[in-house]
Amino acid sequence: MPETTPTTPIAHPEEILPRVHETRPPHTPAAPLVEPASTEQITTAQNPKPARPRSKLRARKAAMKLTPAAVQQLREMLDQPEPKFIKVGVRNRGCSGLAYHLEYVEKPGPFDEMVEQDGVKVLIDSKALFSIIGSEMDWAEDKLNQRFVFKNPNIKEQCGCGESFMV
């Protein structure tokens, strides 16, 4: 639209000038961003409700139990100048599929489970946790050998010699 420049004074300039904002809805006053508080809200703010008592943390059951004989043997094995951990895991081995595996490690893995009993800390490999959970670790000595023995409620099948198992 060509611009026109008036040479004489105009009584109503909005009649000549083009309307730029014709597509906008008519102006309405803005609603307040915060609604006025009701008397109930004011009363509640002045007299806050007492905080709910926090739920007490419950001790969870350890993933594996250690017998006193196992604790004593682990304590002797861990009594070294350099702090280390003993990690219990399972490996694919034997005629039934899995066998227990113990090793020294410098630090826990990101998802390893730590069992602490009577001041002794033992790690459970995160990959073996479902195979070991609920087990009891014991130390057995007889005339021929000394070894850790696991009483595992998850075992479905075990080989004749007891070295390997299946869950």
pLDDT tens digits along 23-64: 556 666 666 566 666 656 555 556 666 666 666 665 567 788
The reported pLDDT for the residue numbered 37 is: 60
Average pLDDT over residues 63-75: 90
Among residues 60, 59, 67, the alpha carbon closest in space to that of 135 is found at 67
Q: How many CB atoms lie within 10 A of CB 113?
A: 19
pLDDT digits (tens, 9 = 90+) for 91-142: 887 777 788 888 988 888 888 888 888 888 899 998 888 888 888 989 998 8
What per-residue confidence (pLDDT) applies to 68?
A: 93
What pLDDT score does 26 carry? 61
Q: How many Å apart are CA 34 and CA 4, to the nearest integer?
A: 47
Which amino acid, residue 80?
A: Q
Cβ pair 105, 85 in contact under 8 A: yes
The pLDDT of residue 84 is above 90: no
CA atoms of 107 and 84, how far apart (whole Å): 7
Judge whether 112 and 124 are in contact, CB under 8 Å: yes
Q: By C-alpha distance, which of 163, 87, 156, 84 is closest to 127?
A: 87
pLDDT-based confidence at residue 149 (cuts at 50, 70, 90): confident
For residues 166 and 158, the answer to whether their CB atoms sit within 8 Å is yes
64-166 topology per CATH:
Hypothetical Protein Aq_1857; Chain: A; (2.60.300)
CA distance 48 to 52: 12
90 has pLDDT over 90: no
pLDDT number for residue 98: 83
- Classify residue 21 by burial, with Cβ atoms within 10 Å: 0-12, 13-18, 19+: exposed
